Amino acid sequence: MLKTASFFKVEKDPFYKQGIEKGAEAKSYEVVENLLTTGKFTISEIANFATVTEDFVKKVRADLAKKKK
């Protein structure tokens, strides 16, 4: 009987990759959210610190504004 490890590499599985990307995005979201709540940094600084786009930071800021209402 063949072992699945001999022909299936989990790292190449698209669902595995998607999960990794979602996890990384969730962590980036959390970092951006924390930096925004301090109120000490600009959008471009936060994007630079968290290595995300400015659009991503703006999206998180909009989500935070919705939560406050």
Q: Can you give the residue range of the structural domain that contains 25?
A: 11-68
Note whether residue 5 is domain-resident. Answer: no
Determine contact, residues 41/49, Cβ cutoff 8 Å. yes
* Amino acid (1-letter code) at residue 2: L
Over residues 10-57, the pLDDT tens digits come to 777 777 777 777 777 888 899 999 999 999 999 999 999 999 999 999
Q: Is 60 part of a structural domain of the chain?
A: yes
Task: Give the whole-angstrom CA distance, residue 36 versus residue 58.
Answer: 10
Establish if 42 belongs to a structural domain: yes
Q: Examine residue 6 and state whether it is found in any structural domain, yes or no.
A: no
Residue 57 lies in a domain: yes
pLDDT at 13: 76
Q: Does a structural domain hold residue 41?
A: yes
Please, are residues 24 and 30 in contact by the beta-carbon 8 Å criterion?
Answer: no
Higher pLDDT: 62 or 6? It is 62
Assess if residue 2 is contained within a domain.
Answer: no
- The answer to whether the pTM exceeds 0.85 is no
| Number of domains into which the chain is organized | 1
Among 62, 59, 3, 7, CA closest to 28: 59
pLDDT at 1: 57
